[in-house]
């Protein structure tokens, strides 16, 4: 789009603050178009060159070199990303009783949209592109209520139900066939800047379900395979496989009042 090109190309005539606001808008447009390209082959054939142009202009603004080479590497990953997203959609359709079709998942599930942006931004981060992946993830955060850092490692068949208030930290590892619900936090137990390059967030093994408002903290914490973490639980120690963790009845104020 010419408007997006003008945003990038007229940077010298715009003050720093206003231009950076425009860059955010350009990244939003790019992200939306990228999602359309990924799921619509006709859209890709008609608009692929325009998506590439936006990508190159954004990288130029961010002073990232070798834009053409990076685009080619990024584009070559689209098929793999799409296959992973199809598995994510199938997991949602399988595990959500309210889901009526795969089409509904693709079009109406904010959790699926957040995962799609994550998988694209994660790939860009793997290509050592700075800033752009975080801008894309923050766009998805503001749109869906789900904050997935592009540095997280997430396996296949990932399902987010009711995507609101979810936080998945930078060094989180989530393996295959994991389900999480609204309000889940996979975070760090320490916040010191000196720990920035350590593993600060938990590891979730295969086939785990984490229910609403559960909090799992710490880089050494591992949730074992086939486990269930109940609603409102706070976990700061590793859990062995095949575990079920729930809030004790006497600590549940609502239940106690009844």
φ/ψ region of 202 (left if φ > 0, alpha if ψ in -120 to 50, else beta) reads beta
- Once rounded to an integer, what is the mean pLDDT over residues 239-249? 90
Residue with tokens 């359709």: 93
* Nearest CA-CA partner of 57 in 32, 26, 103: 26
What is the pLDDT of the chain when averaged over all its residues?
88
Per residue in 202-236, pLDDT (tens digit) is: 999 999 999 999 999 999 999 999 999 999 999 99
pLDDT given for residue 214 in this prediction: 97
Residue 239 in this model has a pLDDT that exceeds 70: yes
* pTM of this prediction exceeds 0.75: yes
| Digit-coded pLDDT (tens) for 136-149 | 999 999 999 999 99
Q: Distance of CA 43 to CAs 32, 33, 62, Å?
A: 12, 9, 27
Return the closest-CA partner of residue 91 out of 161, 142, 154.
161
SS3 213: coil
From the list 71, 72, 73, 36, the residue with the least C-alpha distance to 54 is 71
Which residue reads 């692929």 in tokens? 48
Q: pLDDT digits over 128-179, tens only?
A: 998 999 999 999 999 999 999 999 999 999 999 999 999 999 999 999 999 9
Query: Does residue 250 surpass a pLDDT of 70?
Result: no
Whether the predicted pLDDT of 256 surpasses 90: no
According to DSSP, the residues that pair with 215 across neighbouring strands are: 185, 234
Look at residues 128, 115, 135 and name the one whose alpha carbon lies nearest to residue 54: 135
C-alpha distances (whole Å) from 37 to each of 40, 43, 103, 105, 218 are 5, 5, 16, 17, 37
> SS3 for 146?
strand
Residues with Cβ within 8 Å of 91's Cβ and at least 6 positions away in sequence, in order, are 157, 158, 159, 177, 179
Among candidate residues 216, 200, 218, 219, the one with its CA nearest the CA of residue 208: 216
**Cα separation, 13 vs 18, whole angstroms:** 10
pLDDT for residue 13 is more than 50:
no
């Amino acid at each position: 789009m010419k408007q997006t090109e003008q945003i990038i190309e007229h940077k010298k005539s715009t003050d720093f603050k206003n231009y950076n606001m425009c860059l955010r808008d350009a990244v939003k447009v790019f992200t939306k178009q990228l999602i359309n390209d990924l799921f619509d082959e006709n859209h890709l054939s008609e608009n692929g060159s325009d998506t590439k142009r936006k990508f190159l202009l954004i990288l130029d603004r961010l002073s990232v070199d070798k834009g053409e080479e990076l685009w080619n590497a990024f584009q070559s990953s689209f098929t793999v990303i799409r296959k992973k997203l199809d598995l994510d959609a199938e997991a949602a359709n399988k595990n959500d009783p309210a889901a009526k079709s795969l089409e509904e998942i693709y079009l109406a599930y904010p959790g699926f949209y957040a995962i799609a942006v994550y998988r694209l931004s994660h790939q860009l981060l793997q290509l050592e592109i700075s800033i752009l992946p975080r801008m894309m993830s923050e766009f998805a955060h503001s749109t869906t209520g789900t904050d997935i850092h592009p540095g997280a490692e997430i396996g296949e068949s990932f399902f987010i139900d009711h995507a609101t208030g979810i936080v998945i930290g930078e060094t989180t590892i989530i393996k295959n066939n994991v389900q999480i619900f609204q309000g889940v936090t996979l975070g760090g137990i320490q916040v010191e800047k000196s720990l920035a390059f350590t593993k600060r967030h938990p590891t979730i093994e295969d086939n785990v379900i984490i229910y609403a408002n559960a909090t799992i903290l710490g880089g050494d914490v591992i949730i074992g395979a086939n486990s269930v973490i109940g609603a409102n639980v706070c976990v700061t120690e590793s859990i062995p496989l095949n575990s079920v963790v729930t809030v004790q009845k006497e600590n549940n104020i609502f239940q106690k009042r009844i």
